[in-house]
A and B are shown apart, each in its own frame.
Chain A
Amino acid sequence: MASENWLQRRTFHHTNFWDIRWLLQHKERQGLTISLCLPTYNEEKTIGQEIVIFKAELMDRFPLLDEIAVIDSGSTDKTCQIAAEFGADVYIASEHLTEYGNYRGKGENLWKALYLLRGDIIVYVDTDIANIHPRFVYGLVGPLLVNPEVHYVKAFYDRPIAHSGQLRPTGGGRVTEILIRPLFSLFYPELTAILQPLSGEYAGRRSILEQIPFPVGYGVETAMLIDIYQRLGMEAFAQTDLDRRVHRNQDTVALGRMAFGVARVFFSRLRRDGKIQYEGQLPTLMRQFEFADGNYRLREYTIEEIERPPMIQVEAYRRKFYPETESSCAEPMPSGSVPSEQPNAEIV
């Protein structure tokens, strides 16, 4: 089976890339630059150690990374202060590309990172990881540096959950197993070989990331996988086992809202790819019930999953990264608009 074959060829363990000097040689030989993007929103508990460890191990000791940047969604705690103290570049997402409006969400930060950061390879790492280690970067960068056919690398791991100061050995990946894997099995069976499609750590080449739209919210990881798959096929992917990732637990109700956002993104792609048809737009209202004071109370959440256009379509981006190319971009997208599902323009 193709998936099994892909699994064998494109599944790595972070120890395959432990020799950072060797990775550095690959990087320098290809003349590549690598940027680390840390999307944040009130992560003062964990951001400090992430930056300290990545800067110390992957910039100061071995210059595998060319920049470390925090893209922040407006934290009200000391996230930005701590990040700057230890040498990260700090960007407030809402202060950049303002002509294209502002949204709050991880996907928004990742999208703007393409504009703000300069690397040929962008590594995205979540900032709620308690056991951060350099492997979270070199394990993802490794396949990109050693294999030019790989364009996007996804992490997978054991996921113990920090709970009341103790560690529980399992519990992560519920949305993956209950929602994503069944949907992939139905509509994109090859993608089921991606073991943890919702993992928050991945690295990609700018050349592909700038070509795909970015949902600003929960669906960004799912969208990336489907959109890159549609453009480049499975051979563009690799995945790396990063061993253990200790993170905060989310309750099932919160995961329900996440699943709603992911499902909206998923269905928009199914329609785009001609796999299903439906009229109009999908609802944006997620309904949940909570039990309080002896009664069930309805809670409604509006989850829109706005999508940002491929960055290559953004004029400011083209001016910055492709100044020699004649500009023929679309007008800036007003705040709150829904993205186009038209085929993406490619730069030549």
Chain B
Amino acid sequence: MTVTVPLRRPVEELPEALKPLRERILSNLTMLARLPAPTGREQDRVQFMLDRFLEAGLTDATTDEIGNAVGRIRGRRGSRTILVVSHLDDIVRPGLDHEVMVRADRVIGPGVSDNAMGAAVVAMLPSILEHLNIELNSHLVLLGSIQSLERGNHRGIRFFLDQYPDDIHFGICVEGIELGRLDFFSIATVRADLVCQVRNGNQGRGYGSESAVVVLNQIINRILGIPVPVRPYTVIRMGKLRAGVSYDTEPTRALLGLEIVSHDDEQVDRIIREIEAICFEMSARHAVEAKLDVFFRTRAGGIPFGHRLVSTSIEVMRKLGIEPDQKHSPSEVSEMIARDIPAVTLGITRGRKHQRPKPDYVLIEPILRGVAQVVGVLLAIDSGACDGI
């Protein structure tokens, strides 16, 4: 089925029409990226976004009870409500200078790609629509969500979705990278810290205890022995390891950060149970306290590939010369999908994130196409092109 996107102007023309806004988008990106926003301390970015909303004439822009930045643009008819969200927190190392460099072809700095770029676009969306002379029929809700990452566990958007008084009919999550990203389903994801603490660590070791590193090593070997099926797709990623302070002292505490991902919630539940059993056994055997602390969880789900929101998004991307990339990456979209709200995650540009010591960056050239893509999908939703399966 061919889906026609009834835009006010051809979507292909949007990047050119957005050119006069390029420096404003980059300015927002730069100023947002310079504001430190570790999870739970996003207030400066919240205020920045609210200031932008207010300057654009959104008179009721405010924070909700939990501290999200919320702006609303009333639609002419209000038959639908569309939520556009970007998370405001980042995982930049505390104390690191948030210095941003704007080069001719890229913007470089901690957190520019995840997710100052996305937040810059959401902060500017009212001005972008005004510049393009677009007045939507649908109500538009703009959200800068707090406490999304790590132990935040999407707290901001979950609170918003649970408390917002009106129905949300569609959602768009805006991420800085990668352009072409099209997430429309949610993989079951668990993130957890496995902490191994030697008993009586402060007053001397208990009987039979060993170095926390040695015990954690044995736990890791046991985890590697857990059966992981190819189908449904399931994987255990051990991503972080921390222990010890010096060469000559055996640590009393060691931490393993891990992620379990699967297309099937039951597989995740099974693996958690097995890891907890390993922790229980190793605690008894080696006189340690080994505990699995699950702090982040999303359930498997999604909208079907054939959903009009997906096919329309692909059509908009292709018109802009963007090749859709339907990989999965956790984002706020999972919270909307869990509440039966059709939603997609879109990336704005190309770049790099979280590959220390290499710095994060975003490329400037693709940004206007990325923004045009968000506007194009918004217009398509607004026209009714995405209604129904």
- A165, B99: Cα distance in complex, Å: 8
Digit string of B2-44 for contact with A (CB within 8 Å is 1, else 0)? Answer: 0000000000000000001101101110110010000000000
The docked-state distance in angstroms from the alpha carbon of A131 to that of B103 is: 16
CB of B104 closer than 8 Å to a CB of A = yes
Quick check: is A167 within 8 A (CB to CB) of the other chain?
Answer: yes
Q: Which of A41-49, A99-107, A222-230, A317-325 contacts B (4 or more CB under 8 A)?
A: A41-49
Given A48-B102, A60-B20, answer yes or no on A53-B96 (Cβ-Cβ < 8 Å).
no
Which of A44, A45, A52, A81 is close to B30, meaning CB atoms less than 8 Å apart?
A52
Q: Which of A164-195 contact B (CB under 8 A)?
A: 165-167
Q: How far is the CB of B176 from chain A (nearest CB, A)?
A: 17
Assuming the A-B contacts A52-B102, A53-B30, are A166 and B23 also in contact, with contact meaning beta carbons closer than 8 angstroms in the complex?
no
Q: How far is the CA of A162 from the CA of B96 in the complex (A)?
A: 10
Which of chain B's residues have a CB closer than 8 A to the CB of A166?
A: 95-97
Contacts of B226 in A (CB 8 A): none
A336 at the interface (CB under 8 A from B): no
Query: Given A52-B102, A85-B104, A166-B95, 5 more contacts at CB 8 Å?
Result: A51-B23, A55-B23, A56-B28, A78-B104, A81-B104
Residues in chain B near residue A167, CB distance under 8 A: 97
The proximity string for A residues 16-60 relative to B, scoring 1 for CB distances below 8 Å and 0 otherwise, is 000000000000000000000000000011101101110111001
Complex formed: what's the CA distance from A246 to B36 in Å? Answer: 15
1/0 per residue, CB under 8 A from B, across A61-104: the answer is 10000000000000000100110011100000000000000000
For B103, the chain A residues whose CB sits under 8 A away are 44, 48, 78, 82
Q: Give the residue name and chain of the A residue nearest to B102 (CB).
A: A48
Q: How far is the CA of A145 from the CA of B31 in the complex (A)?
A: 26
A130: interface (CB < 8 Å): yes
Which residues of B95-112 are within 8 A (CB) of A?
95-97, 99-104
| A53/B31 in contact, CB under 8 A | yes
**Closest chain A CB from B351 CB (angstroms):** 16
**Does chain B have a CB within 8 A of A133?**
yes
For the complex, give the distance between the alpha carbons of A78 and B106 in Å: 13
Residue of A nearest to B364 (CB): A85
Residues on A close to B: CB < 8 A?
44-46, 48-49, 51-53, 55-57, 60-61, 78, 81-82, 85-87, 130-131, 133, 162, 165-167, 246
Inter-chain contacts of A87 with B (CB < 8 A): 23
Q: Determine whether the beta carbon of B101 is less than 8 Å from that of A52.
A: no
Q: Are A61 and B104 in contact (CB under 8 A)?
A: no
Taking CB as reference atom, which chain B residue is nearest A86? B23
Name the CB-closest residue of A to B24: A56
> Are the C-beta atoms of A49 and B23 separated by less than 8 Å?
no
A56 touches B23 (CB 8 A): yes
Known: A60-B24, A131-B34. A165 touches B102 (CB 8 A): no
Q: Determine which of A61, A86, A162, A246 lies in contact with B102 in the assembled complex, contact meaning CB atoms within 8 Å.
A: A86
Complex A-B, nearest 9 residue pairs according to Cβ-Cβ distance, in ascending order: A48-B102, A56-B27, A56-B23, A56-B24, A49-B102, A85-B104, A52-B26, A53-B27, A55-B23
Residues of A within 8 A of B55 (CB): 61
Give CA–CA (A87, B99) in the complex, Å. 22
Q: Collect the chain B residues with CB atoms within 8 Å of residue A49's CB.
A: 30, 100-102
The residue on B at minimum CB distance from A57 is B27
What distance in Å separates the Cβ of A85 from its nearest Cβ neighbour in chain B? 5
| A132: nearest chain-B partner, CB-CB | B30
Residues of chain A within 8 A (CB-CB) of B26 are 52, 56, 86
Contacts of A61 in B (CB 8 A): 24, 55
Question: Which residues of A lie under 8 Å from residue B28 when comparing CB positions?
Answer: 56
Cα–Cα, bound, A10→B195 (Å): 59
Bound CA–CA A59/B55 (angstroms): 15
User: Considering only CB atoms, which chain B residue lies closest to A58 in the complex?
Assistant: B27
- Distance in Å: Cβ of A249 to nearest Cβ of chain B: 13
Min CB–CB distance A76 → chain B (angstroms): 16
With the chains together, A243 CA to B102 CA distance in Å? Answer: 23
Q: Name 24 A/B residue pairs within 8 A (Cβ), A-sorted.
A: A45-B101, A46-B101, A48-B104, A49-B30, A52-B26, A52-B27, A53-B27, A53-B31, A56-B24, A56-B26, A56-B27, A57-B24, A60-B21, A61-B24, A61-B55, A82-B104, A85-B104, A130-B99, A162-B97, A162-B99, A165-B97, A166-B96, A167-B97, A246-B97
The CB with the most chain B CB atoms within 10 A, among A52, A55, A86, is that of: A52
Q: How far is the CA of A46 from the CA of B100 in the complex (A)?
A: 8
> Do residues B101 and A48 form an inter-chain contact, with CB atoms below 8 A?
yes
CB-defined contacts of B95 to chain A, threshold 8 Å: 166
In the complex, what residues of B have CB within 8 A of residue A46's CB? 101
Within the assembled complex, what's the spacing in Å between the Cα atoms of A116 and B27?
26
